[in-house]
Amino acid sequence: MEAEHSSKPESTNDCCALWKKKHLKIMEGRKALRQAVKLLEQKAIELEAENENLKKVCKEEQERWKAEKMEKLKEPNGNISLENEVSAVKSEINVSQQECGVNVEKENEGVIVKGLQACISEKEREINRLKELFEQEKIRADTERKIAEKEKRNAAELHKLLEAEKKKCIEKEMQLSKIEAQKAEEYRLHQVNLQKEVSEAKKKLDSETMKFREASKGFADEKQKLLVEKRTSESAMAIAQKRLEIEKEKAAKEKGKADIEAVKLKEQKKLLEDNLKRAMEKERLFDQKLEEKTQTIEGLKQKLDELSSLKKSMETSIVSSDVCVNAESDKVRFLEEILKVEKKKYKLKATCLQQELGRLKLDFNQISQRLNALDTLSSPDPESMDGTTKVAFVAELIQIIYNFL
């Protein structure tokens, strides 16, 4: 019983351990979910920072593009100024040529022409240099414009990608929030179910504990009763052992008596056999007499029938013959009465003889069985029967012999 009651708390402990394992798994899953949410939040923060950086870069590119655009708008004015300078140089050359033509006469023409040629060549070189610079600036402006347009397109594509990533991040955040809400609801419901199951397990554990205590109390009572019964049985066994020893001594004494009684019983058996033979002889003689009486009765019946038929045939005869017939009929009636009485006597005697014969047969069988038992008792192996059985058997045998005698 103790093993059974100890196995019940072990089963409840196993159940609690199983629920604890499930709870730990759920807590680990919740921690992993929180870590995943934290990682996603960090990723969202990184994407937002990258988005801000891209916005800043895009803004800087837009500002640079605007500045370059303003510079490009200013470049035609620079070209105009260069053209004005070229035209001014040309006008100066013309003026100098006119002045040279006026002053040719006054000064040495060779020196003036050389100076003018040198000045013209210098101005032409300046003009060529300015033209080359203009072409270079024009080419640079075109390349910068193309680069700006390309960067603008790249910025627009980056802006689109940024908007798409932003939408993806928002959708992911919404999905994560929904998943987290679902997980939180599932976890809450699971916690409620766990609390219910834990409360039910506690109730079952309390009930099982109460049952175990009651069973332990009942077991203690039963143990106490068993101890009392054990002590009682031990004392009873001691008493029975003493009685058995006494009975053994009595059996040893009674055995001698039983041997003497066995001799007497054998004599009684012989006497009973003789009585049985005489009774059977009496029964045979009685049956023979009964048969003779039956035959006599049958003869009388035949005579009675003959007399009755004779009576009927002689009804018309004389009075004297009537008197004889009446006398004969009275005699027949008297014989019939005697026959009835004899029949009753024979039936009663037959019944008595049958009862006496049955009793003698029964006694004879009992005595034969007891003699066989006595032969067993007087056999070379007296230990084949225990002392109590021998004593009871011998006492019963002696009682039957006394009753029979």
Collect the ranges in the chain with pLDDT lower than 50.
Answer: 1-9, 76, 78, 100-106, 318-321, 379-388, 390-391, 401-402, 404-405
Give tens-digit pLDDT for 87-126.
665 666 566 555 544 444 445 555 555 666 676 677 677 7
Task: Report the predicted TM-score, pTM, of the whole model to 2 decimal places.
Answer: 0.24
pLDDT at 100: 47
* Both tokens assigned to 25: 């798994």
Same domain, yes or no: 313 and 206: no
pLDDT at 78: 47
Residue 117 lies in a domain: yes
Cβ-count burial 232-253 (b if 16+ within 10 Å, e if not): eeeeeeeeeeeebeebeebbee
Widest distance between CA atoms in the chain: 250
Cα 148 from Cα 65, distance rounded (Å): 6
Residue 7 lies in a domain: yes
Same domain, yes or no: 148 and 26: yes
Residue 240 lies in a domain: no
Of 195, 227, 259, the residue that ends a domain is: 227
Same domain, yes or no: 255 and 320: yes
Same domain, yes or no: 223 and 291: no
Residue 291 lies in a domain: yes
pLDDT at 112: 55
Same domain, yes or no: 90 and 186: yes
SS3 (DSSP) at 108: coil
Same domain, yes or no: 327 and 254: yes
Contact between 201 and 12 under an 8 Å Cβ cutoff? The reply is yes
Q: How many domains does the chain have?
A: 2
CB atoms within 10 A of CB 359: 11
pLDDT at 267: 76
Contact between 360 and 272 under an 8 Å Cβ cutoff? The reply is yes
Of 176, 192, 227, the residue that ends a domain is: 227
Cα 290 from Cα 360, distance rounded (Å): 22
pLDDT at 99: 53
Residue 331 lies in a domain: yes
Same domain, yes or no: 113 and 17: yes
Residue 236 lies in a domain: no
For 315, list phi and psi in degrees, rounded to 5. -70, -25
Residue 111 lies in a domain: yes
pLDDT at 22: 72
Same domain, yes or no: 95 and 203: yes
Cα 356 from Cα 273, distance rounded (Å): 13
pLDDT at 296: 72
Residue 278: which domain range? 247-404
Q: What is the CA radius of gyration of the chain?
A: 77
Same domain, yes or no: 217 and 265: no
Residue 241 lies in a domain: no
pLDDT at 258: 64
Same domain, yes or no: 222 and 261: no
Q: What is the DSSP letter of 318?
A: -
pLDDT at 237: 73
Same domain, yes or no: 19 and 167: yes
CB atoms within 10 A of CB 204: 14
Same domain, yes or no: 306 and 189: no
